[in-house]
């Protein structure tokens, strides 16, 4: 029986920094960066990380009705916020998935995302939600700072309504060190690019490609789309030529997104699926201490199962900035003097949080069966003064996928906030619920009453002393 990808989705942070701004800021000591100062790179807001991006990619992948199909969450990243705490469990809770599933964190290599997808497909892990999510960090004034980006992609696997059928795969392992990052470092260390291309890509990839083609009983002429994520410009084209490929070399998304580490190959796959036609075959390569090669065949279902957002929507919804210092601040490279207001120390009560964990993570309001009032948080009695029915008469009402509009708002420049101004106000949900919320990713045009809002999963507060993040939902203007 056929097995493959049944749904897919993607997310790229909306903030985009002009590379020319990076080059100009560092021209005094690295004038050569000007030659790489074209286009933009995506970067995370202060309240985004590999977990929040994974949630957003999964939401793009899974309409509400499809979440019952998920039996496991595999989260691949080398920039997960927690080293010893199941990051995938936070993602599963935010998606409102059943607790009767398994979660698995995959890390340790730039091919973690593609390796995870390959293993899940080869093993027939039906109902697995495979997510790659990455927020790579680079030294200021490095070429990586211009070339890196951020993003996430998600894929649901199954046997019915397949959009990309699994045909075969192959893998190899090598101690080849193109780059590395030790456990105590924030930054990758890269070896010389030409050596990586000639001794790594050129020698290790072709033989694994041939093995995968042989396993799938195909020739290179049968492949329509070639995907090789690489931080090096032209690397994919060079390897495609070397193995005799004459089809479409996938867009590396570099002009507007940048390289998103172990998630990048999955982002490129999501992009290829948006453009592929039924019957076309895709060859996907992951490189890093070895090689993974995966071959997929696009089916007719790809036309009916496009994600609601996807790569095209991510590209068009960007918020452009030329503020290099903003990115440096969000990534912890500079520490502005926030004054006394920034000295607060927020310690989360884990026991109190646990008592309402499901409702907080899943943003679950309550609908009063007596009068129909929707309320969050759920109190002991209905907030409708004409009703006051007990909470035992409430039904669950998730707000994550519900649309809302700005009822009131203020832009606060006085309170401490890592990305001033702090936009906060009442969100009026279509169901009648009304909630004071933080509003994020507000563009230079600001807010207006009546602007449509959607919900996004973000970091509410960082407890830097203990290394714990409190996550919750915020409102963001719907991209036009």
Q: Judge if 152 and 53 occupy the same domain.
A: yes
Length, in residues, of the chain? 480
Asked whether the bond before 377 is cis by omega within 30 degrees of 0, the reply is: yes
Confidence (pLDDT) at 350: 73
Q: Map the chain to HEC letters.
A: CCCEEEEEEEECCCEEEEHHHHHHHCCCCCHHHHHHCCCEEECCCCCCCHHHHHHHHHHHHCCHHHHHHCCEEEEECCCCCCCCCCHHHHHHHHCCCCCCCEEEEECCCCCHHHHHHHHHHHCCCCCEEEEEEECCCCCCCCHHHHHECCEEEEEEEECCCCCEEEEEEEEEECCCCCEECCCCCCCCEECCHHHHHHHHHHHHHHHHHHHHHHHHCCCHHHCCEEECCCCCCCHHHHHHHHCCCCCEECCCCCCCCCECHHHHHHHHHHHHHHHCCCCCEEEEEEECCEEEEEEEEECCHHHHCCCCCHHHHHHHCCEEECCHHHHHHHCCCCCCCCCHHHHCCCCCCHHHHHHCHHHHHCCEEEEECCCCCEECCCCCECCCCCCCCEHHHEEEEECCCCCEEECCCEEECCCCCCCCCEEEEEEEECCCCEEEEEECCCCCCCCCCCCEEEEEEEEEEEECCCCEEEEEEEEEECCC
- The answer to whether 399 and 429 are in contact (CB under 8 A) is yes
Confidence (pLDDT) at 354: 72
**411's tokens:** 């832009």
**384's tokens:** 């409708």
Q: Judge if 265 and 378 occupy the same domain.
A: no
Q: Is residue 69 part of a domain?
A: yes
Residues in the chain, pLDDT under 50: none
Strands 4-11 and 151-158, by their bridges, are: antiparallel
Confidence (pLDDT) at 463: 81
Q: Judge if 394 and 409 occupy the same domain.
A: no
Confidence (pLDDT) at 96: 94
Q: Judge if 211 and 305 occupy the same domain.
A: yes
Confidence (pLDDT) at 374: 96
Q: What is the CATH number of the domain that holds 468?
A: 2.40.50
Confidence (pLDDT) at 340: 80
Confidence (pLDDT) at 227: 98
* Per-residue buried b or exposed e for 25-53, using 16+ beta carbons within 10 Å of the residue's own CB: bbeeebeebeebbeebbbbbbbbbbbbbb
Q: Judge if 379 and 464 occupy the same domain.
A: no
Q: Is residue 353 part of a domain?
A: no
Taking only the tens place, the pLDDT of each residue in 74-120 is 999 999 999 999 999 999 999 999 999 999 999 999 999 999 999 99
Q: Judge if 226 and 121 occupy the same domain.
A: yes
Q: Is residue 350 part of a domain?
A: no
Q: Judge if 244 and 378 occupy the same domain.
A: no
Q: Is residue 290 part of a domain?
A: yes
Q: Judge if 308 and 189 occupy the same domain.
A: yes
**96's tokens:** 């409102």
Q: Is residue 345 part of a domain?
A: no
Taking only the tens place, the pLDDT of each residue in 247-261 is 999 999 999 999 999
Q: Judge if 439 and 379 occupy the same domain.
A: no
| Domain span including residue 406 | 402-477
Between CA 460 and CA 464 the distance in angstroms is 13
50 φ/ψ angles, rounded to the nearest 5 degrees: -65, -30
Asked whether the bond before 403 is cis by omega within 30 degrees of 0, the reply is: no
- C-alpha triplet 319, 248, 286: angle, nearest 5°: 75
Confidence (pLDDT) at 480: 66
Q: Judge if 306 and 386 occupy the same domain.
A: no
Between CA 26 and CA 28 the distance in angstroms is 5
Q: Judge if 151 and 256 occupy the same domain.
A: yes
Q: Judge if 97 and 182 occupy the same domain.
A: yes
Between CA 110 and CA 286 the distance in angstroms is 8
First to last CA, the chain: 42
């Amino acid at each position: 029986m056929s097995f493959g990808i049944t749904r897919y989705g993607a997310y790229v942070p909306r903030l985009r920094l002009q590379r020319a701004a990076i080059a100009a800021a560092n021209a005094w000591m690295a004038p050569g960066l000007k030659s790489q100062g074209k286009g933009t790179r995506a970067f995370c807001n202060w309240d985004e990380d590999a977990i929040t991006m994974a949630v957003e990619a999964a939401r793009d992948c899974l309409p509400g009705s499809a979440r019952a199909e998920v039996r496991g969450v595999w989260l691949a990243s080398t920039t997960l916020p927690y080293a010893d705490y199941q990051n995938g469990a936070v993602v599963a809770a935010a998606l409102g998935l059943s607790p009767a599933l398994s979660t698995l964190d995959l890390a340790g290599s730039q091919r973690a995302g593609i390796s995870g997808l390959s293993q899940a497909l080869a093993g027939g892990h039906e109902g697995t939600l495979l997510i790659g999510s990455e927020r790579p960090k680079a030294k200021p004034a490095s070429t990586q700072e211009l070339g890196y980006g951020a993003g996430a992609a998600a894929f649901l696997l199954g046997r019915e309504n397949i959009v990309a059928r699994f045909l075969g795969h192959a893998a190899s392992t090598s101690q080849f060190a193109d780059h590395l990052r030790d456990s105590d470092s924030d930054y990758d260390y890269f070896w010389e690019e030409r050596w990586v291309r000639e001794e790594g890509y050129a020698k290790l990839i072709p033989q694994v490609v041939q093995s995968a083609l042989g396993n799938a009983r195909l020739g290179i002429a049968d492949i329509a789309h070639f995907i090789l994520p690489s931080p090096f410009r032209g690397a994919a084209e060079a390897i495609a030529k070397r193995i005799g490929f004459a089809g479409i070399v996938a867009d590396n998304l570099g002009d507007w997104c940048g390289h998103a580490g172990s998630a990048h190959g999955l982002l490129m796959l999501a992009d290829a699926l948006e453009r592929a036609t039924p019957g076309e075959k895709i060859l996907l390569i992951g490189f890093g201490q070895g090689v993974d090669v995966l071959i997929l065949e696009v089916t007719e279902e790809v036309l009916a199962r496009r994600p609601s957002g996807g790569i095209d929507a991510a590209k068009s919804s960007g918020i452009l900035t030329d503020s290099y210092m903003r990115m440096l601040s969000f990534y912890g490279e500079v520490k502005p003097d926030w004054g006394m207001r920034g000295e607060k120390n927020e310690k989360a009560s884990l026991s109190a949080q646990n008592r309402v964990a499901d409702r907080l993570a899943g943003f679950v309001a309550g609908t009063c069966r007596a009068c129909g009032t929707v309320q969050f948080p759920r109190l002991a009695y209905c907030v409708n003064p004409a009703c006051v029915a007990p909470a035992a008469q409430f039904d669950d009402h998730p707000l994550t996928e519900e649309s809302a509009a700005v009822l009131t708002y203020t832009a606060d420049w006085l309170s401490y906030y890592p990305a001033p101004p702090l936009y906060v106000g009442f969100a009026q949900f279509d169901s009648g619920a009304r909630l004071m919320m933080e509003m994020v990713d507000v563009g230079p045009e600001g807010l207006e009453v009546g602007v449509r809002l959607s919900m996004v999963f973000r970091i509410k507060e960082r407890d830097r002393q203990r290394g714990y993040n409190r996550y919750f939902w915020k409102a963001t203007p719907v991209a036009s």
